[in-house]
Amino acid sequence: MVKKKTKKKARKRLTPLQKIRKELGNLEALHAKEEAIVEKITEIIEEEEEKDIEVINENWEGTD
């Protein structure tokens, strides 16, 4: 039985600068996701605060 020699794929090694750029890109993407989450949470809070104000106003209108 003859063993075939398989060629290993040459991995392109990244330079330190390329590694930093890649990680910075990952960090920027994460930051964008964080901003979107914060925006959604803020919207939910504002909606709930508006509902609370409406309920308070309705209660005040009926107490004349």
pLDDT tens sequence across 6-51: 777 778 899 999 999 999 999 999 999 999 999 999 999 999 999 8
Q: Between 33 and 61, where is the model more confident? A: 33
Residues 17 and 30: their CA atoms lie apart, in Å, by: 20
Beta carbons within 8 Å of 14's beta carbon, 6+ residues apart: 22
Domain locations in the chain as residue ranges:
16-64
